[in-house]
Amino acid sequence: MLNFNQFRVFYYAAKNLNFTAAAAELFITQPAVTAQIKSFEEFCNLKLFKKKGRKIYLTDEGRSLYQYAAKVFKFEKEIEAVIDDMRELKRGILSLGTTKAYARYFMPLMITTFHQNYPQIKIQLNEGSSLDMIHSLLDFKIEVAVIAKAENNPEVQFFPFSQEEMAVIVARTHPLAKKKAISFADLATVPFIMKEKGSGTRKLVEELFETVGCTPDILMETSNTEFIKQLVQRGEGVSFVVKEAVAAELKEKKMTTVPLKGPRVYLDVSIAYLKEQILSPPARAFVDTLIGLKSEGLHPMGIGLLMARILSQRKEEQRKINGM
């Protein structure tokens, strides 16, 4: 098997055609270079250098081998540069997971904020239910997830990120729209459009129905928030969703919300990653970015208000730039 240390000494000796110069570049002694070259020639069973006076020359075999050595150590330099770039977040891949609703409404701003600081990092975004994303973490398909806590798992670290206000949505012509306030017992009397099993919203809704001893009349189960909104607008059922996900439709009066009796209900959203695994530099930087956003007062106000704040800050920064 090729001794790579001897091969390296050969390369520097051949490049410089001087054992002393090779020793200086390698930070070893000249006798050490001579000994390594002798061992390498014995391994090859070839004469690689010729000597005339105080000068050394490559043999034909030495010249042929040097061509390969030059390619190998050129790649070594490139590999070292790649390693440095990855350590300094100048290249790399960030594997994220989130729910479909978050991917549509919230993740673009999070990714944009991250990309402002780390523009060379490529992002792979996986979508699915909160439970799907927990399984993806466990299977090493993703490194970080922004999800509701659909289930406890001893291998997964959940870092509280935000609390998203939930809302009962109904068509403006729905009988419940005339109510001043309703309970989950009231919701059990009408067709209900439920999020898919494995979602954090589904888990929360089921717990709320169980609290009042009622069972929802499930018209349909789906992971598609857009489909839920369309069904609700047509008056085919009611649903319980993150309020920010229907903010545009509420503003445009395509549907309405009905207040719940009692305190407001919030969905806890977390940053999730594996406890026993060291995060890659891009994943660590993303988590730190989100924690930095949280430290600005995100919890418990929700990501929607944070988005508005960041967009307002960007407009102000752009206004200052344009005014310069």
Calculate mean pLDDT across residues 218-226: 91
Q: How much is the pLDDT for 71?
A: 96
Calculate mean pLDDT across residues 133-162: 92
Q: Of 244, 267, 290, which residue is a domain's last? A: 267
| Statement to judge: residues 172 and 259 lie in one domain | yes
Calculate mean pLDDT across residues 199-225: 92
**Domains of the chain: total:** 3
| Statement to judge: residues 181 and 140 lie in one domain | no
Task: Tell me the pTM.
Answer: 0.79
Q: How much is the pLDDT for 299?
A: 47
Phi-psi region of 45 (alpha: psi -120 to 50; beta: other; left: phi over 0): left
| Statement to judge: residues 97 and 156 lie in one domain | yes
| Statement to judge: residues 240 and 301 lie in one domain | no
Q: Of 87, 107, 135, which residue is a domain's last? A: 87
Rounded Cα–Cα distance for residues 230 and 106 (Å):
20
| Statement to judge: residues 175 and 258 lie in one domain | yes
Rounded Cα–Cα distance for residues 288 and 149 (Å):
20
Low-confidence winner among 61-65, 105-109, 187-191, 259-263 (lowest mean pLDDT): 105-109
| Statement to judge: residues 132 and 147 lie in one domain | yes
Q: Which of 269, 300, 258, 303 is nearest to 201 (CA)?
A: 269
Query: Residue 20 sits in a domain of what CATH number?
Result: 1.10.10.10
Q: How much is the pLDDT for 310?
A: 59
Q: Which domain holds residue 110?
A: 93-161+269-323
